[in-house]
Copies of this chain bind each other. A is one copy, B any other.
Amino acid sequence: MKRIAIDMDEVMADTIHKSLLVFNERFDKHVTRENLTGTKLDHLFPHLKEEIYQMYNHPDFFRDLPVIENCRETILELSEHYEIMIATAAMEVPESFRAKYEWLKENFDFLNDNYFVFCGDKSVIEADYLIDDNIYQLDSFKHQGILYTAAHNINEEYDVRCNNWLEIKKYLMDSLSHV
Contact = CB atoms under 8 A, between A and B. Distances in A.
A116 interface: yes
A124 B118 CA distance: 11
Among A94, A95, A117, A120, the most chain B Cβ lie within 10 Å of the Cβ of A117
Nearest to A105: B94
B97 A118 contact: yes
Interface in A147-161: none
Given A98-B94, A101-B97, A118-B118, A123 B124 contact: no
A60 B158 CA distance: 43
A13 interface: no
Judged by DSSP, the binding face of A is mixed
B121 A124 contact: no
A149 B8 CA distance: 36
Given A97-B101, A124-B127, 14 more contacts: A3-B124, A5-B124, A91-B101, A91-B113, A94-B98, A95-B98, A113-B120, A118-B118, A118-B119, A119-B119, A124-B125, A125-B125, A125-B126, A126-B142
22 contacts: A85-B124, A87-B124, A91-B113, A91-B114, A94-B98, A94-B113, A95-B98, A97-B101, A98-B98, A112-B120, A114-B119, A114-B120, A116-B120, A118-B118, A119-B119, A123-B126, A124-B125, A124-B126, A124-B127, A125-B125, A125-B126, A126-B142
